[in-house]
A and B are shown apart, each in its own frame.
Chain A
Amino acid sequence: MRRQSVILGLLLGPVTLFLGVFFLLPLLIIALFSVLTPGLYGGVEWAFYHWNYGRVFGWADGITEIYEPVYLSILFRSLGFAAMTVGICLLLCYPVAFWVSRLPQRWRLVFLFLITLPFFSSLIVRLYAWLLILKPSGLLNGVLMATGLVEAPLEILYTPAAVVLGMVYVMIPFMFLPLYGAIDNLDRAQVEASLDLGATRVQTFVKVMLPQTLPGIMGGAVIVFIPSVGNFIVPDVLGGAKGLMIGNLVEQQFLSARNWPFGAALSMIIMSVVLVVLLTAVTRARKRSDTR
């Protein structure tokens, strides 16, 4: 028993240390900074300061800090974009994952490799490729106009649509893999049993397949949702950097505005909101799958 716990300690020690130093510590620093006073030329002054939060939620003094409702609306927009990204990824990936799971073994491996292929090149490069595709004189408009589908070039670039499109593109592999895992593990016998008992294909999908693949759906949704809320690269490149999403705002505070405490406060807000959203979603999904 004692020896076991020593071995366990040795095995877990490095991981614990690593997470403690590189994950927990920065988190604590951010939490701390978020309630400190911003220094005049960047940095912090070691005095308690709650207006970092006040600016966002509405208790600013109106002199040193001004309440701006735009922060909250940017936060909500970010949540909305992230939710849309999750939804579109899910709709795209579910049928494809289903199809792939029924391919012969060899083709499945090829497909899974293709799905991971984008990771082999830099995200920025890939986003600039999208820029070339979407711009008014770009590939997409070229094709649309050549085929006569549109008269004038579509203004897609630097719109919310471009941002969501870009995020869906970036996030698809993260949705696909957990979903594929769940669908591949689907018990075919249960699907047959459902059909055998008189359930139509739609009923079988809703009552048997969906609940059975729910862990994969939730897993994919969580993995896609979290980075989507705070994403700033995609809106930077495809959204025209107009502070479209909360991630851009954080980025600005830390880099150009040099207001670290406010950036830290925004980060803490994103984190808590994401946590609350996810916990409610997961518990509600779990509860629904338990009852008729």
Chain B
Amino acid sequence: MTALLEIRGARREFVTPEGGRLAALDGVDLDVGANEFVTLLGPSGCGKTTLLRAVSGFETLDGGTIRLDGADIAALPPFRRPVNTVFQSYALFGHMTVARNVGYALEVQGVPRATYEAEVAAALEKVGLSGLGGRKPSQLSGGQRQRVALARAIIAKPRLLLLDEPLSALDRNLRQQMQIELKALQHRLGIAFVFVTHDQEEALTMSDRIVVMRAGRIEQIGTPRDIYRQPKNRFVAEFIGETNLFPVLVERIEGATALARTDAGVVLAIPAEGRRAGERVTAILRPTDLALAGEGIRGTVTRAVYLGADLHLFVQPAAGGPEISVTTRDVASLPATGETVHLAHDPARVHLLAEA
């Protein structure tokens, strides 16, 4: 099966005000399946919006190809592409009612009145805005505007929906609710979503696959679990979730585990497979992979952050080096700041990066 969207070697350069050149896209390859939810994740300025705009037709590439259903779409103007966008600012038409905003794609196609009315009503219903069709966008709340933008973008049944940080303007509760609704909607519609965010939590909860970008390049593509558990490099590891990074020297192999030591002297047990003594690697341990125990890495609690169900601790290892962050359940006997604790971990949970 070929992918719905195939991007190969996409390049786009901008001239900076200083006169230099900046590659907003620097050789991007990406496939999106017919009803896949793909998230572009990366720091500000890494080229996420530029990539979406290249797909929707508002940005022309300096190199590379974009294929939709196997056909090159470079020559198609935006209004000929079966791709719709939910803009970050929503870009609702302020002079039109909500209903007319939603029906716009049908209106310009010249869809007969009766079909038009029925489809608009159905689309409003789908996003839970029935009854608000007569209002102007300025008379809606942020969340409602978001839904109008969504309804407007899906009414013409695009093959692919592009969403550029659609939830970033919403408050936390509404955002979480919209995350669930969006995901459900994508399921029901059976169309592909390419979703941009720089909120890693959002990316993890919603996506089938996550594309981590940096400076115009793709660092890693994978399922949320892959990205979280098996980041390819430090950048991905640090960008997704909280991470403890330990640059270590492998000291000796003991069966299935190996013992490794940081320069400061913190000792870790790591999987032995493929390792040899004297090698330098980076060990990654997520805060949830460490637990308070009777023995293990000894350290002092410098800060404790209460999170409700969990407790987040920052532990300064006695041996030295950077603080280690640990998430534990909120149990009866909790260590206080300044107390000495021991941190244990399962060697199998350690992920290793070849780079030191």
Contact = CB atoms under 8 A, between A and B. Distances in A.
A190 B137 CA distance: 13
B78 A192 contact: yes
Given A192-B78, A203-B108, A292-B100, A197 B84 contact: yes
B172 interface: no
B91 A195 contact: no
A286 to B, nearest CB: 11
B104 interface: yes
B156 A195 contact: no
Interface stretch (A15-23, A48-56, A207-215): A207-215
Interface in B74-105: 77-79, 83-85, 87, 89, 91-96, 100, 104-105
Contact of B94 (A190, A203, A207): A190
A211 B94 CA distance: 10
B141 interface: no
A196 B78 contact: yes
Interface residues of B, number: 26
Chain A, interface size: which category? 20 to 34
B95 A212 contact: yes
Given A198-B156, A199-B79, A292-B100, A193 B109 contact: no
Given A199-B104, A199-B108, A193 B95 contact: no
A86 B336 CA distance: 79
B95 A211 contact: yes
A198 B79 contact: yes
Contact of A194 (B56, B83, B104, B153): B104
Interface string B98-137: 0010001101110000000000000000000000000000
B78 A195 contact: yes
B14 interface: no
Contacts of B147: none
A116 interface: no
Contact of B87 (A193, A208, A211, A292): A193
Interface in B53-70: 56-58
A187 B91 contact: yes
B209 interface: no
A289 interface: yes
Contact of A192 (B91, B96, B104): B91
A207 B77 CA distance: 18
Contacts of B91: 187, 189-190, 192-193
Contacts of B152: 193, 197
A260 B92 CA distance: 56
Contacts of B92: 190, 193
A292 B93 contact: no
Contacts of B105: 197-198
A196 B56 contact: yes
A187 B57 CA distance: 18
Contacts of B107: 207, 292
A159 interface: no
A192 B58 contact: yes
A137 interface: no
A73 interface: no
A208 B93 contact: yes
Contacts of B104: 194, 197, 199, 207
Given A203-B108, A212-B95, A189 B156 contact: no
B79 to A, nearest CB: 5
A207 B153 CA distance: 17
A272 interface: no
A190 B93 contact: yes
B108 A197 contact: yes
Contacts of A190: 91-94
A61 to B, nearest CB: 54
Interface in A171-203: 187, 189-190, 192-201, 203
A201 B79 CA distance: 9
A197 to B, nearest CB: 4
A127 B17 CA distance: 44
A200 B108 contact: yes
A192 to B, nearest CB: 6
Interface of B: 56-58, 77-79, 83-85, 87, 89, 91-96, 100, 104-105, 107-109, 152-153, 156
Given A196-B79, A197-B79, A197-B108, 19 more contacts: A190-B91, A190-B94, A193-B91, A194-B93, A195-B57, A196-B56, A196-B58, A197-B105, A197-B152, A198-B105, A198-B109, A199-B104, A199-B108, A200-B79, A207-B104, A207-B108, A212-B95, A290-B95, A292-B100
Interface of A: 187, 189-190, 192-201, 203, 207-208, 211-212, 289-290, 292
12 contacts: A189-B87, A192-B58, A193-B87, A194-B104, A195-B58, A196-B58, A196-B83, A198-B105, A198-B108, A200-B108, A207-B104, A207-B108
